[in-house]
Amino acid sequence: MTTALTIITKAMQKAGILIKSEVPSADEASDGLDALNDLMASYSNESILITSRVTELFNLSAGVGSYTIGAGQAFNTIRPMNIVEAHINSGTISYDSMYLCPDEVYQGLDLKTMQSIPDLLNYTNAFPYGTINLYPYPDSGYVLSLTSEKELTQFTLNQTVSLPPGWNRLLIYNLAVELAPEYGQKIDPMVLKIANDAKGAVARSIMKVRTLDAPPLSQIGMFNIYSGYYT
């Protein structure tokens, strides 16, 4: 267990901003908290640093193929950074994983409003909310199962948190690298090496339990290196 203030204090000590017996002033702690939360927001864009994935269920409406997702949206949840798997449930039946397609593929599809069991999902990761497009449009009130990666949690200064293994070291040393230039400090090469090593160790531990298999292709088409997507 630790706090953001503890991480900030140790980071400033590693960066040479404070000596070991010093603690940050209120202004320094505020700057450190901003930098720490900026670091967490940046890491949210790196899939290999997202420790856990979340599976959620959302009700679909017949004839509706587009849904906003985010706080207060049609799918009311934290906006996903990335959707890694989706499938349709109908009663006790779970259908095969949907094909997750990019915007340019979805925009090129014909007859978007045809209705059947959706087997293609397009996610537009906009801010402050994203949009999920389904193809074909659902012909019944199915349930959509989504497995996604969410933004990493932001800190408050004195909040007590329990971090996954390796994250305390990762944050202390990488925050030290972030803060050093703001206080006119030249970062110690060893601190920089430890920061990179700590980040790499966390990423490798996550990748060990991630499959490298590609999601199954939709039955409506596939990619071809010469012709792109065809139906």
Tell me: the pLDDT tens digits for 95-120? 999 999 999 899 989 888 999 999 99
Tell me the average pLDDT of the chain.
90
Question: pLDDT for 147-203, tens place per residue?
Answer: 999 999 899 999 999 999 999 999 999 999 999 999 999 999 999 999 999 999 999
Q: What is the mean pLDDT of residues 58-70?
A: 97
Note the pLDDT of residue 211.
62
What CA–CA distance (Å, rounded) separates 176 from 48?
21
Q: How far is CA 207 from CA 6, 51, 165, in A?
A: 28, 10, 14
Q: What is the pTM of this model?
A: 0.77
